[in-house]
């Protein structure tokens, strides 16, 4: 598993801004589309998110990065290639792909993607992160990055990013 920053196919569409506009207050929403390339893959969204925050012109506030899919996740950590392989190893132990999950059993489930492991891993990793914005930038430690986990790819995935400033 590796991050694919340079080759990542991401596109952000438009900006809906609402709420009070005075002094930069309000809520801005950006939709992001990521095209993943493997069944399990972790992508670094940090530069994309930082760019959106910068363009929003918000000085201080809260960014919520939310995935729209039940078989993807968003979390914060260090995207070192070796560590990302270890994440996959831990997830495989936590929710083994080949286990006889009921979600994968046609007697109990009408889903034929055999992705029970994907749902379970997504639940444990989380569907969103909240990031602080201060002086126009994300408040993150030296090694922290915003990461999206694809768990049932490859597919086109939607995330929604909200920048909220009081």
State yes or no: residue 57 binds a copy of itself (CB under 8 A): no
Give dist(CA 43, CA 22) in Å, integer: 35
CA 87 from centroid of its chain's CA atoms: 15
Measured from the CB atom, is 55 or 105 closer to a copy of itself? 105
Q: How far is the CB of 151 from a copy of itself (least distance, A)?
A: 12
Phi-psi region of 114 (alpha: psi -120 to 50; beta: other; left: phi over 0): left
Compute how many other C-beta atoms are within 10 angstroms of the C-beta atom of residue 71.
Answer: 22
State yes or no: residue 158 binds a copy of itself (CB under 8 A): yes
Give dist(CA 114, CA 71) in Å, integer: 12
Give dist(CA 102, CA 97) in Å, integer: 12
- Choose, by CB under 8 A, the member of 9, 132, 137, 156 that binds a copy of itself: 132
Binding mask 73-112 for a copy of itself (x = CB under 8 A): --xxxx-xxxx-xxx-xx--xxx-----xxx-x--xx-x-
- Choose, by CB under 8 A, the member of 38, 55, 123, 137 that binds a copy of itself: 123
Q: How far is CA 120 from CA 31, 92, 125, in A?
A: 25, 10, 9
Measured from the CB atom, is 9 or 25 closer to a copy of itself? 25
State yes or no: residue 9 binds a copy of itself (CB under 8 A): no
Give dist(CA 159, CA 115) in Å, integer: 20
Q: Would you tell me which residues interact with a copy of itself (CB under 8 A)?
A: 16, 18-20, 22-23, 25-27, 29, 59-62, 64, 66-70, 75-78, 80-83, 85-87, 89-90, 93-95, 101-103, 105, 108-109, 111, 116, 119-120, 122-132, 134, 139-144, 158, 160, 162, 164-166
């Amino acid at each position: 598993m590796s991050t694919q920053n340079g080759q990542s196919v991401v596109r952000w569409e438009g900006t809906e801004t609402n709420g009070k506009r005075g002094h930069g207050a309000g809520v801005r929403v950006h939709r992001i589309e990521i095209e993943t390339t493997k069944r399990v893959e972790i992508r670094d969204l940090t530069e994309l998110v930082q760019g959106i925050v910068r363009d929003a012109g918000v000085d201080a506030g809260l960014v919520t990065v939310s995935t729209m899919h039940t078989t993807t996740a968003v979390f914060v950590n260090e995207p070192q290639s070796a560590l990302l392989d270890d994440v996959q190893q831990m997830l495989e132990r936590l929710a083994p792909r080949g286990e006889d999950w009921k979600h994968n059993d046609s007697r109990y489930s009408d889903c034929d993607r055999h992705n029970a492991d994907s749902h379970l891993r997504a639940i444990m990793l989380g569907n969103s992160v909240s990031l602080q914005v201060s002086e126009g930038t994300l408040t993150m430690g030296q090694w922290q990055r915003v990461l999206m986990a694809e768990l049932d790819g490859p597919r086109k995935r939607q995330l929604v990013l909200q920048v909220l400033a009081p």
